Amino acid sequence: MAKLIDNIKTFVNTKILKKAHKREAIESKYVLETRNLGISFGGLKAAQNVNLKIEKNEIYGLIGPNGAGKTTVFNLLTGVYQPTEGAFYLNGEELTGLPQDKINHKGIARTFQNIRLFNNMTVVRNVMVGLTNQPEYKCSLFESILRLPKHFKVEKEMRKRAKELLRIFDLEDERNNLACNLPYGKQRKLEIARALATNPKLLLLDEPAAGMNPNETEDLVNTIKKIRDEFDMTVLLIEHDMKFVSGLCDRITVLNFGTVLTEGDTKTALNNPDVIKAYIGG
């Protein structure tokens, strides 16, 4: 019964009164800064005291053994889970507690470990969904219903922009295929293209190279570097492939059991005896 009352209270507070804690801005030279970010599910501390400081244009790796809490951190940063401790800031603006779509609007976009595309839509429309909230493609529901000139103009521009994005990933020729009919590697690329369409400041990639062969992986390394250079992008990625990580990431953070094991530039961190111990045990 007490639990039920608690539930009702939480419901009223969060859903009806929209009481979120007050967000504040800080001085920060980092694109992403997290301060003691953590979440516990019941008694389980899935992540705690995660402090990340990611500089602009960096490709930053988040690694660790299975179950270390890497994806949990991603879910915290994108609002899928609400942190129970700590806060995170994008360019000094606190985003803790915002819903997923608002966080995306503020400039964090992500891909998923198990690919999540809009399977029954064509490739180009997948990307156009990402463009929906961009201010330059604003078009109200009434303008769309009444088919005012604005609607046609916006649709045309969105399609053009989507094609440009697809060209970067060599997906332009597939643009009218259903997303679910693409081969695996291309689906991963499409997911990145869709994330980029939302014009993020920080791109989170959850195991982008999983299930790819060496050629595809190498191709992906080049693509991510290209994204960083062309879009002036900052990238945070989770990956298990150490060759991939050491070939791509400037700095990394190693997680184990929900806490930070070590951090620093890729080579040093990977050679840290603690890290080796965490990975191969003993």
Partner 1 sequence: MKFVKHYLSYVVVGALAIILSVVGAVGGLSGTFLALLEQSVIAIILAVSLNMVVGFLGELSLGHAGFMCVGAYVGGKLAVLLSSSLGGTNIVTVILALIVGGLCAGICGFIVGLPALRLRGDYLAIVTLAFGEIVKNIFENSEFFGGQTGLRTPEFTTKRDTRFILFLIGAIVVLLTLFVIQNVIRSKHGRAITAIRDNEIAARATGINVTKYKLMGFVISAVFAGLAGVLYSYSQQSLQAKTFDYNYSIEILVIVVLGGMTVNGSIISAVLITALNNILQTKLGGSFAVAKDLIYAVVLILMVIYRNAPALKNFREKYNLTNLWRKIVKHKHDPARVGDDAVRWDVVPTKISMDEVLSTDVVIDTTGDNSADIGERGGNK
Partner 2 sequence: MKFLETLINGFSIGGIYAMIALGYTMVYGIAKMLNFAHGDIIMVGAYVIILFLPINPVVAIIAAVVLCALLGISIEKVAYKPLRGASPLAVLITAIGVSYLLQSLAQIIAGPNPKLNNLFEKLFPKFLETHRGGIIAIGSFSIKLSTIITLACVAVVMIGLTLFVKRTKTGRAMVAVSEDKGAAQLMGVNVNSIIMITFAIGSALAALASTLMMLDGQKFAVDMGSLPGIKAFTAAVIGGIGSIPGAMLGGIVLGLVECFAQMIGLGEYTVAIEFSILIIVLLVKPTGILGKKRREKV
Interacting residue ranges for partner 1, rule: CB under 8 A: 3, 7, 42, 78, 80, 82, 99-101, 104-105, 109-110, 112, 116-122, 125, 128-133, 137, 139, 141, 144-147, 151, 154-155, 158, 176-178, 180-181, 194-195, 197-198
What spatial distance separates the first Cα and last Cα of the chain, rounded to whole Å? 46
With binding defined as CB under 8 A, does residue 180 bind partner 2?
Answer: no
Give CA angle at 118 (105, 140), nearest 5°: 50
Which does residue 8 touch among partner 2, partner 1, none (CB within 5 to 8 A, set by kind)?
Answer: partner 2
* Dist CA 192 CA 196 (whole Å): 6
**Residue in the structure block whose two tokens are 């103009």:** 153
Coil/strand/helix, residue 49: strand
* Dist CA 156 CA 18 (whole Å): 38
* Dist CA 82 CA 100 (whole Å): 10
Taking CB under 8 A as the criterion, the residue among 34, 71, 126, 187 binding partner 2 is 71
**Shortest distance in whole angstroms from residue 11 CB to partner 2:** 5
With binding defined as CB under 8 A, does residue 11 bind partner 2?
Answer: yes
The closest alpha carbon to 53, from 22, 92, 6, 107, belongs to 92
If you ran DSSP here, which 8-state letter would residue 201 be given?
Answer: S
Cα dihedral 218, 221, 227, 230 in deg (nearest 10)? -80
Coil/strand/helix, residue 110: strand
**Shortest distance in whole angstroms from residue 257 CB to partner 1:** 22
The residue among 8 and 276 lying less far from partner 2, judged by its C-beta, is 8
Which does residue 148 touch among partner 2, partner 1, none (CB within 5 to 8 A, set by kind)?
Answer: none
* Dist CA 127 CA 75 (whole Å): 22
Looking at 7-15, 152-160, 176-184, 236-244, which segment touches partner 2 (CB under 8 A)? 7-15
With binding defined as CB under 8 A, does residue 16 bind partner 2?
Answer: no
The closest alpha carbon to 253, from 47, 28, 70, 31, belongs to 70
**Shortest distance in whole angstroms from residue 164 CB to partner 1:** 17
The residue among 71 and 256 lying less far from partner 2, judged by its C-beta, is 71
The closest alpha carbon to 182, from 127, 235, 129, belongs to 127
The residue among 35 and 194 lying less far from partner 1, judged by its C-beta, is 194
Taking CB under 8 A as the criterion, the residue among 80, 148, 168, 221 binding partner 2 is 80
The residue among 74 and 244 lying less far from partner 1, judged by its C-beta, is 74
* Dist CA 132 CA 178 (whole Å): 19
Which does residue 152 touch among partner 1, partner 2, none (CB within 5 to 8 A, set by kind)?
Answer: none
Beta bridge partners of 21: none
**Shortest distance in whole angstroms from residue 57 CB to partner 2:** 27
**Shortest distance in whole angstroms from residue 185 CB to partner 1:** 17
Which residues of the shown chain bind partner 2 in the complex (CB under 8 A)? 4, 7-8, 11, 41-42, 71, 75, 80, 112
